[in-house]
Chains A and B, each alone.
Chain A
Amino acid sequence: MQPRRKKRLLSMVLVLGLIAGAIGAMLFALQQNINLFYTPGQLIQGLGEGKIKPDVGQRLRLGGMVVPGSVSRDATSLKVSFDLTDDSGEIATVEFEGILPDLFREGQGIVAQGVLKNATVLAATEVLAKHDEEYMPPEVAEALKGIRHVPPSQLPVQPTATNSYGG
């Protein structure tokens, strides 16, 4: 082989090796950061055909409809817990400390992200609800096909004080 060709081959191999390494590292990092989405039914009965249940301590996203009347607040701190449900009728509890998003309301579909505390309780680090009153996260909407989504404006009781005096 000519020395120039040899040099070129060597640099090609080096570059390809680097790229392969980079992609491998990327996929590995990706694997570590995937948060699977569950509904309360899937959380309790298992997900997919294999009925795989997540382990306690696993990071995941839980999406469902906030059960009306289930929001309970701690009197002295920002701790709050509420129940989520879906068409399976199963109920999972979310515990959270912090400020709930502006559009968090009972009867609304939300997504909570966090760590599974025990089989039915999620310790959430983040609660998401989109900035739009008719909105339901599509994953939730898909999972909740059975349940009719009630826009918050039609709910009998407005949970937040802001709404109680009507703006």
Chain B
Amino acid sequence: MIPELGQLALTFALAFSIILGIVPLLGSFTANERALLVAKPLASAMFVFTLIAFCALSWAFYHDDFTVLNVANNSSSLLPWYFKLTAVWGSHEGSMLMWVMILALWTAAVGFYSKGLPLLMQGRILGVMGLINIGFIAFSLFMSNPFERTLPFFPVEGSDLNPLLQDYGMIIHPPLLYMGYVGFAVSFAFAIAALIGGKFDSTWARWARPWTLAAWLFLTLGIMLGSWWAYKELGWGGWWFWDPVENASFMPWLVGTALIHSLAVTEKRGTFKSWTVLLALGAFSLSLLGAFLVRSGVLVSVHSFAADPERGVFLLIFLLIVIGGSLLLYASRMHSVRSQARYEIFSREVMLWGNNVFLLTATLVVLLGTLFPLVHKELGLGSISIGEPFFNQMFYYLNIPFALLLGLGPWVRWKQQKAAPLLKPMALVAVFSLVVALGTMAATQSITANLALLGLLLGAWVGVSALMEVYQRLQQFGSLSQGVAKLQASHYGMTIAHIGFAVMIVGIAMTLTYSEERDVRMEIGDRVVLAGYEFELQDVYKLNGPNYGGEAAELDVRRIDGTYVTHLHAEKREYTIQRMMMTEAAIHARLSRDLYVSLGEALPGNAWAIRVYVKPFVRWIWLGGLLMSLGALIALLDKRYRRKSPNAEAAHA
């Protein structure tokens, strides 16, 4: 009964989205105030009904209702209750419903927080959101119905949740990622609404900025969490695989980052207008492309859902309508937009333009590397794969000028900057960076010109520069204590996010250079020494979990001099229902290094294959991501985003 209610609720939500997609948009052309006023309640109603649908599916999962096909395929009565609930978004159908629910949530949120927007703008933005909602709700309802029944012959036991997804990281990774993906729909709707109206002033950019920041914040957190999950759950000790699905989430992130910076120019200086709009369209289009790549089965990856060509075709058509329609509108409107402001070659505008160029080149690299194998195969040239070295090499070369620019950028003024006043502070930053980088290398006793040194130099350059810039900015307010209170939140946010980037560069470079890994054959009592740590295999025994069996290994870790460091417990689980093997790595994490052990297969002669890693600074990668998100959060709290726009009243009248 409840699943049927869920389906009914979803049908109602579809009806609301259709009205929302039509009435306010039409009303905006006929200046019909009543038509515009229905947008907000419609958005809320749509959200409430998708939420009901989502809760209905969760109820079915919680109560092991195996008459629902989706539950039978993705859950089992043996699962702990929290994994039963997270299994809701463990399948294609369930995660699509979650996607729909989150999209409706963003729509309702825009309605709720748009009091400062002119009514006309409000109606158009919500109307565009409604149109996007139609596509996804229809997809969920007609192409991937999560409430489909197995009646009359239903199984007594479900076939269990994919063991890869039975992890705490997985509980929040998809919701965060979807919040990010779908959040760019708001930027997209803002851009379309502005295109329809033909007005791109700095107020428009000020409205669009917090929404873009919010979406970017969630996407960053989602990607970081995914990377951390892969690190601990896949048992290879890697944190980024250039897997097509990772790439699919990385592309909107890159364009979203470019968009945040470009929006700053549009808000502050009223230029880069058409460029900003194009980026807003691009970020959401790439989100959709990601959804298509993951859900159509054209790509092979650990993440992809079961292939279904029909779904792929639906998503492809939707993708083409969204991209084609928005570009058509863009082409017809944008030629008349002129930016008035002038700026010189050495100005913040050009610095941010440089930022955009590098970020978009990076996007192009990822896009090319992800789609090239597809094209190659379709042309009948044989199947190929693009090796990790391609991406690593390209990002290596792109990162160097990008980081150099990033260190300099915040110091440069709008419009025009004379070189002379910057020479002194930049020289100071350079000296500090050298001291920090070489000091760290000296502390770890390995001064060679390698990737780690380069990473440290670039990281220190960005980090030191960001700190000194904010210090200098604070002093301009008279005294430091006065400055701390007066400086805008968005400036703090920027500084923290830039430091996060620096931390991440250092983490990546150090991990890549100094990680030591070894696959060894060990019998009980054997010892292996790696990077100054001695690992001793003490015991291997059988495991008895609620829905899995397998083996567990116990290891002691000591330093070379004999001081005890930690005890490690690694597991190799075999999930009984899906008969699937899973590696649960043992990790001892510190800021300066991770000890990582995973248990491999049993070998002849009472021995086991064991993988041992020492990974210096690997935590810094995720710490950097967290700092970037924190920066976005702080920037989001900036007071000026909550100021009511002066023309809002005029539009109401």
- Which residues of A does B touch, CB under 8 Å? 18, 22-23, 25-26, 29-30, 32-37, 47-48, 59, 61, 73, 75-78, 97-100, 102-104, 113, 130-133, 137-139, 153, 160-163, 165-167
Shortest beta-carbon distance, B521 to chain A, in Å?
Answer: 5
Q: List 13 A-B contacts (CB under 8 A).
A: A25-B397, A26-B365, A30-B368, A32-B390, A34-B384, A34-B387, A36-B384, A99-B519, A113-B385, A131-B582, A138-B300, A153-B579, A165-B542
Closest A residue by C-beta to B353 = A15
Bound-state CA distance A137–B604 (Å) is 28
Inter-chain CA distance A35–B559, complex, in Å, is 41
Cα(A164)–Cα(B580), bound, Å = 14
Q: Are A161 and B601 in contact (CB under 8 A)?
A: yes
- Contacts A103-B581, A137-B300; is A22 near B385 (CB within 8 Å)? no
Compute how far the CA of A35 lies from the CA of B376 in the bound complex, rounded to whole angstroms.
12
B385 touches A37 (CB 8 A): yes
Given contacts A75-B604, A99-B600, A138-B300, contact A167 B550 (CB under 8 A): yes
A99 to B583, CA, bound (A): 12
Contact A131–B580 (Cβ < 8 Å): yes
Q: Is the CB of A33 within 8 A of B389?
A: yes
Q: Are A133 and B601 in contact (CB under 8 A)?
A: no
Q: Is B295's CB within 8 Å of the partner chain A? A: no
Q: Is B483 an interface residue (CB 8 A)?
A: no
Q: Which residues in A have their C-beta under 8 angstroms from that of B300?
A: 137-138
In the A-B complex, the 10 residue pairs with the smallest Cβ-Cβ separation, listed nearest first, are: A167-B549, A161-B602, A102-B581, A99-B600, A33-B390, A37-B383, A33-B387, A167-B574, A98-B519, A99-B609
Q: Are A36 and B574 in contact (CB under 8 A)?
A: no
Verify A99–B601 contact, CB threshold 8 A: yes
CA distance A29 to B378 in the complex (A): 21
**Min CB distance, B597 to chain A, in Å?**
12
Q: How far is the CB of B539 from chain A (nearest CB, A)?
A: 16
Q: Are B601 and A61 in contact (CB under 8 A)?
A: no
Residue of B with least CB distance to A35: B385
* B372/A130 in contact, CB under 8 A: no
Residues of B that sit less than 8 Å from A by CB: 164, 235, 300, 302, 357, 361, 364-365, 368-369, 372, 376, 382-387, 389-390, 393-394, 397, 519-521, 542, 548-551, 572, 574, 576, 578-583, 598, 600-605, 609, 611
Chain A residues positioned under 8 Å from B519 (CB to CB):
78, 97-99
Write the nearest CB–CB distance from A113 to chain B, whole angstroms.
Answer: 8
Q: Does A162 lie within 8 Å of B572, measured CB to CB?
A: yes
Give min CB distance, A160 to chain B, whole Å: 5
Inter-subunit contact A47/B368 (CB<8 Å): no
Q: A145 CA to B364 CA in the complex, in Å?
A: 36
Q: Indicate if the CB atoms of A77 and B549 lie closer than 8 Å.
A: no
Please determine whether A48 and B382 come into contact, CB atoms closer than 8 angstroms: yes
Given contacts A29-B390, A73-B603, A162-B581, contact A99 B385 (CB under 8 A): no
- Name the residue on A nearest B398 (C-beta): A22
Q: With A and B bound together, what is the CA distance between A160 and B599 in angstroms?
A: 13
- CB within 8 Å for A30 and B572 given contacts A73-B603, A103-B581, A133-B579: no
Q: What's the Cα separation between A48 and B603 when bound, in Å?
A: 39
- Complex contact B601–A30 (CB within 8 A): no
User: Chain B's nearest CB lies how many Å from the CB of A108?
Assistant: 12
Whether B604 and A73, one on each chain, are in contact in the complex, defined by CB atoms closer than 8 angstroms, is: yes
- B residues in contact with A130, CB < 8 Å: 302
User: In the complex the two chains form, what is the Cα distance from A33 to B361 in whole Å?
Assistant: 18
Q: How far is the CB of A163 from chain B (nearest CB, A)?
A: 7
Q: Which residues of B contact A25 (CB under 8 A)?
A: 397
Query: A30-B368, A75-B604 known; A131 and B574 CB under 8 Å?
Result: no
Compute how far the CA of A50 lies from the CA of B193 in the bound complex, rounded to whole angstroms. 55
Question: Whole-angstrom distance from the CB of A13 to the nearest CB of chain B?
Answer: 15
Cα of A163 to Cα of B582 in the assembled complex, Å: 13
Contact across chains for B368 and A162 when beta carbons are under 8 A apart: no
* Pair A162/B611 contact, Cβ less than 8 Å: no
CA distance A139 to B374 in the complex (A): 12
Interface centre among B383, B387, B389, B578 (most CB of A within 10 A): B383
A37 and B381 CA atoms in complex are apart in Å by 10
Q: Is the CB of B372 within 8 A of A30?
A: yes
A37 in complex: contacting residue of B368, B382, B520, B521, CB < 8 Å:
B382
B384 and A35 contacting across the interface, CB-CB below 8 Å: yes
- Could you say which residues of chain B place their CB within 8 Å of the CB of A36? 382-384
- Nearest B residue to A34 via CB reads B384
A136 to chain B, nearest CB (A): 11
Contact A37 B384 (CB under 8 A): yes
A29 & B394 in contact (Cβ 8 Å cutoff): yes
Known: A35-B384, A37-B382, A73-B603. 14 other contacts (CB 8 A): A18-B357, A22-B361, A29-B393, A33-B386, A33-B389, A34-B385, A97-B519, A98-B609, A99-B609, A103-B580, A103-B581, A113-B385, A162-B581, A166-B549
Take A138-B300, A161-B601 as given contacts and tell me if A131 and B385 are in contact as well, using a CB distance cutoff of 8 Å: no
CA distance A160 to B490 in the complex (A): 57
- Chain B residues whose C-beta falls within 8 Å of the C-beta of A18 in the assembled complex: 357
Give the complex CA separation of A68 and B609 in angstroms.
21
Choice from B302, B598, B601 contacting A100 with Cβ under 8 Å: B601
CA distance A118 to B605 in the complex (A): 31
* Contact, CB under 8 Å: A131 / B164: yes
The answer to whether A162 touches B601 (Cβ under 8 A) is yes
Contact B576 A167 (CB under 8 A): yes
Kindly list chain A residues whose C-beta atoms are within 8 Å of the C-beta of B387. 33-35, 59
CA distance A54 to B390 in the complex (A): 21
CA distance A22 to B359 in the complex (A): 13
Task: Assess whether B390 is in contact with A61, with CB atoms less than 8 Å apart.
Answer: no
Q: How far is the CB of B213 from chain A (nearest CB, A)?
A: 28
Alpha-carbon gap, A58 to B629, bound state (A): 43
- Tell me the minimal C-beta distance from B584 to chain A in angstroms: 11
- List the B side residues contacting A32 at CB < 8 Å: 389-390
Residue B382 contacts which of A47, A73, A99, A163 (CB distance < 8 angstroms)?
Answer: A47
A99: chain B residues at CB < 8 Å are 519, 598, 600-601, 609, 611
Q: How far is the CA of A36 from the CA of B581 in the complex (A)?
A: 29
A78 contact set on B, CB distance < 8 A: 519-521, 603, 609
A48 to B381, CA, bound (A): 9
